[in-house]
């Protein structure tokens, strides 16, 4: 996972957001967020609603990955 994908995913850590909100929280551009959301959807880490504006959220797969990468010395899962 690249830095931009990780930043987009981290923005969703507290709950579902629109792409504009993800961009605001992550510091990425709208185009970058769109690209990263396409990839994260493809690998099963995020899912978007069908409404407009689309709201994006992390899947259980993504939450498991985040938890597994956050463990280590001095880090609580």
Integer Cα distance of 57 and 15 in angstroms: 6
Q: In this structure, what are the phi and psi dihedrals at residue 14, rounded to the nearest 5 degrees?
A: -100, 0
Calculate the CA 70 to chain-centre distance. 15
Side-chain-side CA neighbours of residue 4 (13 Å): 14
User: One digit per residue, pLDDT tens: the chain, 77 residues?
Assistant: 899 999 999 999 999 999 999 999 999 999 999 999 999 999 999 999 998 999 999 999 998 888 888 765 544 44
**Residue 66 pLDDT:** 83
The torsion angle over the Cα atoms of residues 2, 7, 13 and 16, rounded to 10 degrees, is: -100
**Residue 75 pLDDT:** 44
Give the tokens for residue 42.
Answer: 């493809």
Q: Does CATH place domain 3-67 in 1.10.10.10?
A: yes
User: What pTM value is reported for the model?
Assistant: 0.84
């Amino acid at each position: 996972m690249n830095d931009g994908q990780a930043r987009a995913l981290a923005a969703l850590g507290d709950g579902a957001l629109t792409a504009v909100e993800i961009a605001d929280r992550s510091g990425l551009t709208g185009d970058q967020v769109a690209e990263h959301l396409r990839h994260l959807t493809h690998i099963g880490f995020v899912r978007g609603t069908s409404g407009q504006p689309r709201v994006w959220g992390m899947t259980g797969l993504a939450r498991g990955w985040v938890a597994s990468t956050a463990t280590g010395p001095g880090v609580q899962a």
